[in-house]
Amino acid sequence: MDINELRNLINYHSNLYYTLDKTEISDFEYDKLMSELKRMEAEDPSLITPDSPTQRVGGKILEGFESVHHDVRMESLNDLFSKEEVIDFGKKTEEALGEEVEYVTELKIDGLSVSLEYRDGVFFRGSTRGDGDDGEDVTENLKTIRSIPLKLTEAVPYLEVRGEVYMPHKSFEALNKKQEDLGLEPFKNPRNVASGTLKQLDSSVVASRKLDIFVFNIQQIEGKELKTHKEAIDYLHSLGFKVSPIKEVFHSIEDAFSEVINIGERRGELGFDIDGAVIKVNSLAQRATLGSTAKYPRWAAAYKYPPEQKETKLNRIVIQVGRTGVLTPNAEFDPIRLAGTTVSRATLHNLDFIREKGIKIGDTILVQKAGEIIPEVVRVIHEKRTGNEKDFDMPLFCPVCNAPVYREENEAAYRCSGTSCPAQLARNVIHFASKGAMDIEGLGPAVINQLLDNKLISSAADLYYLTMEDIIPLEKMGQKSAENLISAIEKSKENDLSRLIFALGIRNIGQKAGKELAKRFPSLDSLMSATVEEICACDDFGLIMAESIKHFFETEQNVAFIEKLRQAGVNFLSKSVPTGSLFNGKTFVLTGTLPTLTRSEASKLIEDNGGKTSSSVSKKTDYVLAGEEAGSKLEKALKLGVPTITENEFLQMLNISD
């Protein structure tokens, strides 16, 4: 590719990582792209442009945090990929100094670089690296990391250190277990989680994720003279910091590189991710002499490890049904040792991934660990095919409950259609009982999991058959709690049909759609017998939504579930018929904070009088009901000439104003 295409590709991946906290390629692949761009620009400096990725460190300031200027620039490191490049780095360093050089090696932690500042030994500010010159103030979030000392062992007048925040493997695995329990997609790698977590606006979320840090450099210090980096690291350790371990000083670049290789061989045993090792000049005076280029220091470089890859035989592809009903194909292969652990399974994501990679059962495949954690199939070794390999296709029926499997247009995932599928049961019951659905007070995830573990329910419908005797023995339950829960379950039977429709968990049908259906169809039975065309006649309904409803009610398992609700006495009738017609055919958009009404109260008044609400402003909007701190919606309404009204004007329209 030409240099402009390469720049665009690097900028694309840089934006994903630095701004959106996402990745599509490994660090090693990204660093190779950057290295190639540097080579092309070095060969012809006239090709260098001001907006080239090589002319800046990277990253953007995100909204939500105050900006912090770094008095000492937080530089990036020059990346090296071979022994020859490392030896050349040492040779140039020694030639520039004209004297002997000592080197130290450190782990290159795979996380988020931060600055920690102390005044008189007390932590007062922490910030992200940002673009190297300006970062974001994340002090409160950093305070949740227990390995960051809030008070040092000495009252140093002023100290700024640099460290790398990361997520240990144990924390990452625990977080992904929690994600799976909630039916959510697991995170891909610890580095992205650490970066995203540190930018959370809620510090309690940061605290719950148990991040850690290694401190690896003094940026500025007052009241202390230090001669070497090794001495500085030892001093930081004495102050109470968790520091990057430096075992010894090396007197030649060859010995330093040998230690880099040793670190690489041990990286699977560390308990956290590294993506390389750093070689630094030990003498601080020599560092000052060497200085920095416009992009990185001349006294340090990072050796990047390629991902460890191994061949193995794919024996079979098995289907795992997630808590959201998604069927995920998983590869089972001959066990191999990667990054310190033995692995024998890897996700294949979906059928599109399998087709794209050309994977067949019986293939010899190349496997690596993404982010040193999650095994992934890199590619098929086509030259080792024997002709006995077999194509794979997704099953027509769920392997757990035998309900039909479906795939919606423009979606990669295949899903189980069963409401009572054991694989997704916990999520379904949690949704059924949630506030926006049947609103069963006191029936949270902890109680639901106990009911499932004790085999007291096998579907949400079984909630209506529970007794006091079933509930009292549960943990943290007693007579009064059991009475309250039974009462809440009983009360939910009288809910409007709109809540029940939403509670069923029909694909593509949310709360608003449930309300619209309850207005159009007087009972659940009339909705069940409706045609796709009749459902499409509802406001804002399309073919995909209508077919989702029709498909749901054609599934035998779901029909049995609904019949169980009927026998329990759950209301199947609509109470959503408007009591007035003042707003018939009118669409309202609500924005800002109203003086006395909540959003839900205002929406109910609109719907009770025949109107409807929308989340976005368009030329079809009839009124924008605006309160305090109304933002872009109000601006758009004014631009389009849509009438805007206050709460008082709204109540006057209803003739209920003071």
Which residues belong to the active site?
Answer: 108
- Cα angle 133-134-135, degrees, rounded to a multiple of 5: 130
CB 120 within 8 A of CB 155: yes
Q: How many CB atoms lie within 10 A of CB 38?
A: 16
Strands 644-645 and 623-626: parallel
Q: How far apart are CA 49 and CA 34, in angstroms?
A: 15
Instruction: Give, as one character, the DSSP assignment of residue 187.
Output: P
Q: How far apart are CA 233 and CA 230, in angstroms?
A: 5
CB 123 within 8 A of CB 116: yes
Is residue 283 classed exposed, middle or buried when 0-12, 13-18 and 19+ CB atoms within 10 A define those classes? Answer: buried
Q: Which secondary structure element, helix H or strand E, spans residue 300, and what is its range?
A: strand 300-304
Nearest to 69 by CA among 127, 143, 19: 127
Residue 422, classed as helix, strand or coil, is: helix
The CA–CA distances, whole Å, from 5 to 43, 238, 358 equal 17, 49, 27
Phi, psi of 626 (to 5 degrees): -115, 135
Helices (H), 410-457: 425-433, 445-453
Q: How far apart are CA 613 and CA 74, in angstroms?
A: 49
* Residue with token string 């009292």: 472
Helices (H), 556-653: 556-568, 599-608, 632-640, 647-653
Instruction: Give, as one character, the DSSP assignment of residue 384.
Output: G
CB 187 within 8 A of CB 270: no
The amino acid present at 253, given as its one-letter code, is I
- Cα angle 59-63-67, degrees, rounded to a multiple of 5: 70
Q: How far apart are CA 186 and CA 191, in angstroms?
A: 14
Q: How many CB atoms lie within 10 A of CB 456?
A: 17
CB 75 within 8 A of CB 216: no
Q: How far apart are CA 58 and CA 19, in angstroms?
A: 10
